[in-house]
Amino acid sequence: MKNLYLKLFKSLFSFVTIFAFFVQTSFAQTNLITNGDFENGTANWTVWSAAMATTSDAHSGNGAVKISNRKNPWDAIVTDVTSIIENGQTYTLSAWVKIPDPAVNFRATLQLNAGGTTTYTGYIGSNNPTIGSYAFYSQTFTLNWTGNLVSANLYFETDAVNDIYSDYILDDVILVKSKPIIEQLQEGPGWKDIKSTMLIGGCATESGQNYWTNPTAKAQLLKDCNTVTVQCYPGWGRWDETLHHVYHVDEFTNRVKDMKKRK
Ligand SMILES: [Ca+2]
List, by residue range, all CATH 2.60.120.260 domains of the chain: 46-177
Q: Is the pTM of this model over 0.75?
A: no
Query: Parallel, antiparallel, or unpaired: how do β-strands 64-68 and 168-177 relate?
Result: antiparallel
Sheet of strand 149-159: strand arrangement: 46-47, 77-80, 149-159, 104-114, 117-126
Segment 48-67, tens digit of pLDDT: 999 999 999 999 999 999 99
Tens of pLDDT, residue by residue over 160-214, are 999 999 999 999 999 999 876 656 656 655 544 444 333 334 433 333 445 555 6
Superfamily of domain 46-177: Galactose-binding domain-like (2.60.120.260)
Q: φ and ψ at 213, to 5 degrees?
A: -115, -20
Helices (H) then strands (E): counts for the chain? 4, 13
d(CA 98, CA 259): 47
Give the per-residue pLDDT at 108.
98
Distance 31 CA to ligand 1 centre (A): 14
| Rounded Cα–Cα distance for residues 36 and 186 (Å) | 30
CA–centroid distance, 108 to ligand 1, in Å, is: 18
Give the tens place of pLDDT for each residue, 4-50.
444 434 434 333 333 333 333 334 579 999 999 999 999 999 999 99
What pLDDT band is residue 134 in, cutting at 50, 70 and 90?
very high
Distance from residue 2's CA to the centre of ligand 1 (Å): 55
Average pLDDT, the chain: 76
| 64 CA from centroid of ligand 1 (Å) | 5
Q: Which residues surround ligand 1, an ion (CB under 5 A)?
A: 37-38, 58, 61, 171
How far, CA to CA in Å, does 118 sit from each of 91, 93, 112, 147, 150?
A: 20, 21, 5, 11, 9
Distance 84 CA to ligand 1 centre (A): 21
